[in-house]
Amino acid sequence: GGPVSRGLAFTPIAPVPAAVDAFSVPAGYSWNPIIRWGDPLFAATDRFDPEHQTAASQARQFGYNNDYLDILEGPGRKGRDGILVTNHEYTNENIMFAPATTPAEADEQRRIAMMAHGMSVVALERKRAGQPWTYRVGDRLNRRITASTPFTVTGPAAGSDLLKTKGDPTGRTVLGTLGNCAGGTTPWGTVLSGEENFNGYFRANGTSTADARYGLANRPTGRLWEQIDDRFDATVAGNENEPNRFGWIVEIDPEAPNEPPVKHTALGRFKHEGANVIVGKTGHVAAYMGDDERFDYLYKFVSHDRFDKKKSPKARTHNKSLLTRGSLYVARFTGNSPAAEITGTGQLPADGQFDGTGQWVALVIDGVCQVAGFTTDDALVNTRLVADAVGATKMDRCEDVEPSPVTGKIYVACTNNSDRGRLGKEGATEANPRAINRDGHIVEITETGSDATSVTFDWNLLLVCGDPKTNTSTYFAGFPSDKVSPISCPDNVAFDTEGNLWISTDGAPSTIGFCDGLFKVPLVGPERGRVQQFLAVPRQAETCGPVIRSEQSMVYVAVQHPGEDGSWAAQASRFPDYVAQRATAPAGAWAGPRPSVVQVWKP
Ligand code: FEO
Ligand code: CA
Ligand code: CA
Ligand code: CA
């Protein structure tokens, strides 16, 4: 049968071998980069010059390693104006820079890397909906947020002693955002982004239970930023709490370029993959969030106040306060099949489903900690410890978690977990049924009464991923496995206009030997579970974003870390321009990749 989406029909592409350095789309589609690492945002004179980058120029250019992405289409201009919002998770210094020859050069490379982190807001324009965009240099909305941009802290832990440092004795203003991974656009038009692997940026005392639980240690960091800014050295007196100021959900308003971005303490602190918000039946909003670490947890925040659906500035201001006050829950999954039937091989139990019921266990209700022995500040700043205490379910790395705007069901990408069956670990469970989960799985959750504010739910696994040609433990919601595209390591998810799930992957080259890609999966009807590959990203890249506008036959992805295993002298990818050297660089200087936001359209 043909694909279901109206307006975005395609014949699935064949899986692309891992060594191929190409961006691959279905027959009949075109692609180009909208914006690339180093492209100028504020003046054309800030052009990318990889041999002569400075921190000052990078702060005025598009950052590195774009991950979360949305394309907000301006109202009232028939789809001709847009705003691109993305984050910049981290930097690949090994391919960005020639090896430094002096300490001063090494320090400047560190400052450039700091300016290549964070987020970007970029104004777009085009002739009409469905046509490719170009970005506008110097637009009033264009914005860079970096490792030094001031953020305002909101919520119950703002001003807490656990957030105070010598640089910020109030505990209310944090410089910068780091490790921004997935995210979500809110029903009120702002963008959320998750601070994920923040621990890698800090040298810390590493002696407390919390430091150990969050992976903070007393050893030099990989990037050595602590050598040029003692904020990154939490062993320095007065800086002990600096790592507590990262690991939050951040929110920016792309239409308010002068408004400080915020960090929301009410949503807890962990290795936040991202957050996606849906308005519940009662008008309260729920934010679904994953903590991306092996054996870590799935969370939900429910707002105290209700969403105001009016379009007025007053309603927008109110809605921007929704994530500052409410309740924080962690998920506990219970399987309905006998434990003996969960063998760790991924084989289905006798009832034919990995499924069961679940509970959202309250950690904090309306700003008050619900767990004996912990304060509210503990629950919000060291959330993992409090979630440990209530026996939350250990998951196989929750990446993106997103409610369907069509059905309200929630989809959780568990990317992989090779350690589940190891000695001393808990082994397979019905919600995480492989002892060695190389390829990951997708959990489908139905809230009781289909209400996002419920405290109980039903769940089942939609997909148990892998290449069915070489792996007998895959499951595609009952769809014949010989008729699907192989898929491994699901990471970011999105929905098209019709409610089909789209999944982007990170890690397939090392598990099934194919480049990462973007896949469509119908969720209802006879095609439920039919995974179809739409695109593949180049060698060593991860597929991020994605944004699906099926009514316009357009797809957008953020191509992260292309050619990441190369070096300055021996680059592994030339994406996206595929020229032997950069036009702006001296002869022979640069033939490397540029992480980019790509648009795919039907000419
Ligand atoms: Fe940055 Fe969890 O991927
Ligand atoms: Ca079952
Ligand atoms: Ca991710
Ligand atoms: Ca990932």
pLDDT of residue 108: 98
3-state class (DSSP) for residue 47: coil
Q: How many helices (H) and strands (E) does the chain have?
A: 8, 32
Q: Which atom of ligand 1 is nearest to the CA of 292?
A: 2
Strand partners, 180: 195
Question: Could you tell me the two tokens for 119?
Answer: 């987020």
Which atom of ligand 1 is closest in space to residue 181's alpha carbon? Answer: 1
What pLDDT, on a 0 to 100 scale, did the predictor assign at position 586? 53
What's the mean pLDDT in 531-548? 98
Tell whether the model's pLDDT for residue 314 goes beyond 90.
yes
Q: Are 346 and 475 in contact (CB under 8 A)?
A: yes
Question: What percent of the chain has a predicted confidence (pLDDT) above 70?
Answer: 97
- How many A from CA of 506 to the centre of ligand 4? 5
Q: Which ligand is nearest to the CA of 416?
A: 4
Measured from the Cα of 179, ligand 1's closest atom is 1
DSSP readout, 479-500? Answer: S-GGGS--B--EEEEEE-TT--
Phi, psi of 10 (to 5 degrees): -155, 155
Distances (CA, A) of 246 to 170, 174, 207, 400, 542: 16, 9, 18, 19, 24
Strand 30-36 relative to strand 66-73: parallel, antiparallel, unpaired?
A: unpaired
Q: What is the pLDDT of residues 571-592, one digit of tens each?
A: 999 999 987 654 555 555 567 9
Task: Report pLDDT for 261.
Answer: 98
Look at residue 591 in the predicted model and tell me its pLDDT: 79
The number of the ligand 1 atom at minimal distance from the alpha carbon of 506 is 3
For residue 148, how far is its CA from the centre of ligand 1 (angstroms)? Answer: 22
Task: Say if residue 597's pLDDT is above 50.
Answer: yes
Residue in this structure with the two tokens 């944004």, named with its chain if needed: 547
Q: pLDDT value at position 420?
A: 97
Looking at the predicted structure, is the pLDDT value of residue 102 above 70? yes
CA of 293, nearest ligand number: 1
Q: What's the angle, vertex CA 380, arms to CA 377 and CA 381, rounded to 5?
A: 80
- Residue 5 reports pLDDT greater than 70: no
Model confidence at 9, in pLDDT bands (50, 70, 90)?
Answer: very high
Q: Whose CA is nearest to atom 1 of ligand 1?
A: 181
Which ligand places an atom closest to the C-alpha of 506? Answer: 4
Residue 2's pLDDT band (cuts 50, 70, 90)? very low
User: Can you tell me the distance from the alpha carbon of 390 to that of 372, in angstroms, rounded to the nearest whole number?
Assistant: 10
- Distance (angstroms) between ligand 4 centre and the Cα of 517 equals 13
Residues with CB under 6 A from ligand 1: 89, 181, 196, 273, 292, 399, 491
| pLDDT at position 1 | 38
Query: CA–CA separation, 293 vs 307, rounded Å?
Result: 32
Pairing of strands 118-125, 134-135: antiparallel
Cis peptide before 576 (omega within 30 of 0): yes
Which chain residues have CB less than 5 Å from ligand 3, an ion? 181-182, 399, 491
249 CA from centroid of ligand 1 (Å): 14
pLDDT for 590 equals: 65
* Ligand 3: centre distance to CA 418 (Å): 17
Indicate the pLDDT class of residue 347, thresholds 50, 70 and 90.
Answer: very high
Indicate which ligand has the atom closest to the C-alpha of 397: 1
Q: Which amino acid is at 577?
A: D
Closest CA to 121 of 147, 177, 83, 88: 83
What interface predicted TM-score (ipTM) does this complex get? 0.95
Residues 173-197 pLDDT 10s: 999 999 999 999 999 999 999 999 9
pLDDT at 580: 62
Which three-class secondary structure state does DSSP give residue 578?
coil
What Å distances lie between residue 81 and 252, 256, 469, 509, CA to CA? Answer: 19, 16, 45, 37
Q: Counting atoms of ligand 1 from 1, which one is nearest the CA of 67? A: 1
Per-residue pLDDT of 493-524, as tens digits, reads: 999 999 999 999 999 999 999 999 999 999 99
pLDDT for the residue 6:
60
Å from CA of 491 to ligand 4 middle: 6
Q: Average pLDDT, stretch 76-83?
A: 82
Structure tokens at 289: 């969030």
Mean per-residue pLDDT of the chain: 95
Distance 182 CA to ligand 1 centre (A): 7
Find the ligand nearest to 198 CA: 1
Distance 282 CA to ligand 1 centre (A): 32
Instruction: Tell me the CA–centroid distance for residue 29 and ligand 1, in Å.
Output: 28
Per the CB < 8 A criterion, the answer to whether 300 and 365 are in contact is: no
- 82 sits in which H/E element: strand 81-88
CA-proximal residue: ligand 1, atom 3 (nearest): 181
Burial of 178 (0-12, 13-18, 19+ CB in 10 A): buried
Atom of ligand 1 nearest to the CA of 197: 1
Question: Cα-atom radius of gyration of the chain, to the nearest Å?
Answer: 23
What is the number of the ligand 1 atom nearest to the C-alpha of 397? 2
